[in-house]
Amino acid sequence: MEGWLSMDDVATTRGGITGVTPCLPGTWLARLAVVDDQIRENELHLLRLCPLPWLTADKEASFARLPTEFGPVTLKFRLADRGKTLRVEFSPRFRLAPQRVMLHVPPLDGLSSVVLNDAPLSWDGKATTLEVKQQ
């Protein structure tokens, strides 16, 4: 029948899947922008390349169950106190914990404090990365 795939057509296209995955690089890069497990061996980096427009006070950015080589992690973040506080929620479900987890502080004018999982972090206002102590 014209217009229908025959078994010969399916066999020549590997079951109808031709490897069309143009959205994968963008999705992968978006994940690496907020959760990067590739930059250094046995380390996990949070918000390393986070686009500044994703940091707002009116909406929380949320990335649930992102796959990493250590296990899935959930990361949520937003600005509070008129842009003076960066609030981050980090919920890992590590199969094997990395040696270090690093939080990269975005270069935002007026940012004066960083809060992780409702606990203020010790930050001098100048450091660009903070080590997250694992429990």
Residue 19 gets the label, from left (phi > 0), alpha (psi -120 to 50) or beta, of left
In a domain, 111, yes or no: yes
In a domain, 48, yes or no: yes
Residue ranges in the chain modelled with pLDDT below 50: 1, 4-12
Q: CB-based burial of residue 101 (10 Å sphere; 0-12 exposed, 13-18 middle, 19+ buried)?
A: buried
In a domain, 50, yes or no: yes
pTM above 0.85, yes or no: no
How far apart CA 69 and CA 55 sit, in angstroms, is: 26
In a domain, 95, yes or no: yes
Q: CB-based burial of residue 44 (10 Å sphere; 0-12 exposed, 13-18 middle, 19+ buried)?
A: buried
In a domain, 10, yes or no: no
Cβ proximity of 55 and 106 under 8 Å: yes
What does the block give as tokens for 45? 């980096």
What does the block give as tokens for 105? 């502080």
In a domain, 97, yes or no: yes
In a domain, 9, yes or no: no
In a domain, 109, yes or no: yes
The domain in which residue 78 lies consists of 25-132
